[in-house]
Structure 1
């Protein structure tokens, strides 16, 4: 008798790199230096706060059923049958939508041409291994 453990759906997340977040923190140090001069410069601190929000929030979540594009204020979830293909140009990756989904092109934040094979492999069905 064998017992089957329930399989958890595999979810792959693509987010901004650590270098982006480090650059935001360096910007915050510079903004703090400027804002510390006088109270009138305090709004300068909003720039690194907004950049940090963008860097932490944007990205792409991929699982077997959906692709979710996350933006700073909202997200869009696409089923795989709404996606016609991927476009890789000038260091950016976009998704081409079918006619039913609006026939547009949506950019995938945090997905690069180098990570596109990982995105595609995460939704490809596992190949069965031969018994022998």
Structure 2
């Protein structure tokens, strides 16, 4: 029986400076609450941006890719992908059914890394 060794996934994420800036904005929003509770709806915005900046991105491995967003994720196998398309500074996967999936945080320069990893 042969054992297939799985290569680790390559993770594409946005700059960590986004999460740091959102953290600073969260700390800056706290003193507004001392003035009035009417400012309470402001606090979730920088928290959501911090979580999005930390979580959102694309994970690529031998079997396919996973696109992660703030609240969910989507897994797509390489068998369902017809090709990778670079458009307007972003990368999209063209699926066999004609739909497109945007690969978050993947730049056009990263397409070669993805094809080298997958061997396709």
Q: Shorter-chain TM-score: which interval?
A: 0.7 to 0.9
2:109 is the counterpart of 1:114? yes
SS state of the match for residue 36, structure 1?
Answer: helix
SS state of the match for residue 111, structure 1?
Answer: coil
What's the C-alpha RMSD, in Å, of the aligned pairs?
2.1
Following the alignment from structure 1 to structure 2, what is the Cα–Cα distance between the partners of residues 115 and 72? 22
- CA deviations on 1:77-119 (whole Å, 9 max, x unpaired) are 11111111111122111111112xxx11111111112323222
- In the superposition, the TM-score normalised over structure 2's length comes to 0.83
Query: What residue ranges of structure 2 are gaps of 5+ in the alignment?
Result: none
In the alignment, which residue of structure 1 is the partner of 2:68? 70
SS state of the match for residue 9, structure 1?
Answer: coil
Query: What residue ranges of structure 1 are gaps of 5+ in the alignment?
Result: 126-132
- CA separation of 1:113 and 1:32: change in aligned 2, threshold 3 A: farther
SS state of the match for residue 101, structure 2?
Answer: strand
- CA separation of 1:123 and 1:50: change in aligned 2, threshold 3 A: same
In the alignment, which residue of structure 1 is the partner of 2:81? 83
- In the superposition, the TM-score normalised over structure 1's length comes to 0.77
In the alignment, which residue of structure 2 is the partner of 1:123? 118
Equivalent residues, number: 118
Q: Contact 2:16 / 2:53 at 8 angstroms: preserved in 1?
A: no
